[in-house]
Every structure is written in C-alpha cells, then in structure tokens.
C-alpha cells in the first residue's frame, strides 16, 4: 500500500499541450509538496500546501498551477507545455510544515515534452 | 547559487569497506540536515538526519557527522553492502523568505558498492 502515489509514472506529450499529474498520500499528513528534478539532477521545491493552503510558491512560471482538493491530494496542472518542462516531478508529504520533519516522496513522474 | 553542494558525483567502494559521502553548505541558518537514498525509478527515501545542535547521529550502519564551523556534513556507511548502491542526496532545512521551512537538496552522489 504505497504511502505517496503519483500518476502517471510516465508522461510523453507535445509542446503546447496541457497536462496534469496527480498525487495522493495515505499517511494522514497535513503538508504536501511538488519538486522538480531537472537534467542537472537538482531536486528543487516548487510548491507546498499545508491543510490545503499554499505556503511555498517558488519562482515557477504561472503555467504551473497546483490544486489541493483536500489534505490527502495535491495535483499539478501544467498549461502550454514547453520543451524545458521536461523533467521528473516528485510529490512529497510530511506530517507538518515544521523545521525538523521528514518528507516522504512518491516515485516520480517523468515528463517528456516533444 | 548552490547552497548545498555534493562535490563528488560518484563514488565506488568495495563491499565491506567504509563509504564516506560528503556534503557542504553555505547557509548558516540551516538547522536540520537529512540524507536521502534514491534507487532508479523510485523516489528519494529518508535515511538519517541530524540537528544542528548535535555533531553525530548513528543508526545501525549509518552515521552522520556534522561540523558546523566548517559547514560540512558527512555520511558514513560501515560496512558497505551491494544493496547500498544508490544515489545519496544531502538536504538542509531552513526558513525561506516567506517564513516557511523548506528543504534544499544537493545534486546527489552515486554510490556503487562492488561485491
């Protein structure tokens, strides 16, 4: 029973399309995150939600829009996909947004924009 | 601007020997550090952490050392096993400009343990 699950695992699409990645956690955590791992292998925070409220919103193009319908779900919608959006996107969750929490990651969604 | 640096992209170690993975950071406001392990096609999984008020934390074969004055931490794995072969990410927790805590990751070090 996967703790943090993301769908789809792979996503291949054309430039200009709109796509969504879904994330669900069954750990009962209050806080969820989206990270992007680009070709240089850096894992960078994009967004974080705590109890459905946006608390971290890094410098990300506004083509990226997170949505948290409830505490257990955080989806990522991307409009007008560009080549540079190709990356692996990881969802994560933690018990709370505090300083000494462990984040639990999903397996990642590999997005390829052609 | 890399605030967390793992300068060795890869490391090879013989089975049974010690693996030492290094991490440097620049932000003195970081106060909690974590190591994550990542296998191919999987997400990072938490391995071990250390608070800035400590200089050592041990969990089985894994020990993390923190040298605050040098802004350096290291992960020791003894003895190394083939199943330890993975990418290891160093991460640091600190408060961002908006007042929220977030993790800053290094680029990772790929450890290969040779049987």
Query: Could you give all domains of chain A from N- to C-terminal order, each with its CATH number?
Result: 4-113 (2.60.40.10)
| SS3 state of residue A84 | helix
| SS3 state of residue A83 | helix
Give tens-digit pLDDT for A38-55. Answer: 888 889 999 999 988 888
Q: Above 70 in pLDDT, residue A33? A: yes
Q: Above 90 in pLDDT, residue B76? A: yes
CATH architecture of the domain B4-114 equals Sandwich (2.60)
Q: Above 80 in pLDDT, residue A1? A: no
Residue B79 has what DSSP assignment?
A: S
C-alpha to C-alpha distances, B28 to A75, B21, B25, nearest whole angstrom: 33, 20, 8
Nearest residue of B to residue A4 by CA position? B43
Average pLDDT, chain A: 93
Q: Above 80 in pLDDT, residue B1? A: no
Nearest residue of B to residue A39 by CA position? B107
Enumerate the domain spans of chain B.
Answer: 4-114
Inter-chain CB proximity A99 and B93 less than 8 Å: yes
- Please compute the mean of the pLDDT values over residues B86-102 and round it to a whole number: 91
CA distance A33 to chain B (A): 10
Spatial CB neighbours of B74, under 8 Å, sequence gap ≥ 6: B20, B21, B22, B23, B64, B65
């Amino acid at each position: 029973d996967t703790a943090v699950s993301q769908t789809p695992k792979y996503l291949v699409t054309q430039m200009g399309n709109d796509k969504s990645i879904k994330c669900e956690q069954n750990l009962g955590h209050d806080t969820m995150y989206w990270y992007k791992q680009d070709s240089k292998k850096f894992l960078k925070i994009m967004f974080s939600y705590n109890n459905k409220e946006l608390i971290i919103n890094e410098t990300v193009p506004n083509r990226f829009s997170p949505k948290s319908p409830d505490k257990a779900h955080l989806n990522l919608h991307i409009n007008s996909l560009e080549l540079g959006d190709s990356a692996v996107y990881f969802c994560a969750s933690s018990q709370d947004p505090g300083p000494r929490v462990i984040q639990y990651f999903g397996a990642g969604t590999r997005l390829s924009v052609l | 601007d890399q605030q967390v640096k793992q300068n060795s992209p890869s490391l090879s170690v013989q089975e049974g020997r010690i693996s030492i993975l290094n991490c440097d950071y620049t932000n003195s406001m970081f106060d909690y550090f974590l190591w994550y392990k990542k296998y191919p096609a999987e997400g990072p999984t938490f391995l071990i952490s250390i608070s800035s008020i400590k200089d050592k934390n041990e969990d089985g074969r894994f020990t993390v050392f923190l040298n605050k004055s040098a802004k350096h931490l290291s992960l020791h794995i003894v003895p190394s096993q083939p199943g330890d072969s993975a990418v290891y990410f160093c991460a640091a927790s600190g408060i961002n400009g908006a007042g929220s805590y977030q993790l800053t990751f290094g680029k990772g070090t790929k450890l290969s343990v040779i049987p």
